[in-house]
Amino acid sequence: MLKEAFLAGMGAVYLTKDKAEKIAQELIKRGELAKEDRSDFVARLMDDMEKQKSRLKEKFEEELNSMVKEANLITRDEYNELLSKVNELNARIVELENKLNKD
């Protein structure tokens, strides 16, 4: 569900170069953009879209991390750390059992 919300948000700020070119062409037709400014306009538009996508991704990650913490869920890193500790303890138990069996 969170992934779908994120993707929907990305769709809202997603702009292809073709679409940016069409916008520029429309502005030129209406006299709101000079032909010689077209490539700069498209480049700025695409740069703005990339910045917005980056900000949206950061915001999504922040919100997701906040929800994980509020729900008392563990992160993958925390899980891996716990798994490593369990494996270490299991190895120690086997080691101690082997010592007891030798005696």
| pTM for the full predicted model | 0.52
Sorted by where each begins, the domain ranges of the chain are 2-72, 74-103
Provide the b/e sequence for 69-98 (b: ≥16 CB within 10 Å).
Answer: eeeeeeeeeeeeeeeeeeeeeeeeeeeeee
d(CA 96, CA 92): 6
Evaluate whether 37 touches 44 at the Cβ level (below 8 Å).
no
Closest CA to 2 of 52, 45, 64: 64
Q: Which ranges of the chain does DSSP label H, i.e. alpha helix?
A: 2-13, 17-29, 38-70, 76-102
Question: pLDDT, tens digit, for every residue of 33-87?
Answer: 999 999 999 999 889 888 888 898 899 889 988 888 889 888 889 999 999 999 9
Is the pLDDT confidence value at 7 over 60? no
Q: What mean pLDDT is predicted for residues 85-103?
A: 93
Report the sign of the C-alpha dihedral through residues 44, 26, 39, 31, in that order. Answer: negative
Is the pLDDT confidence value at 90 over 70? yes
Is the pLDDT confidence value at 6 over 70? no
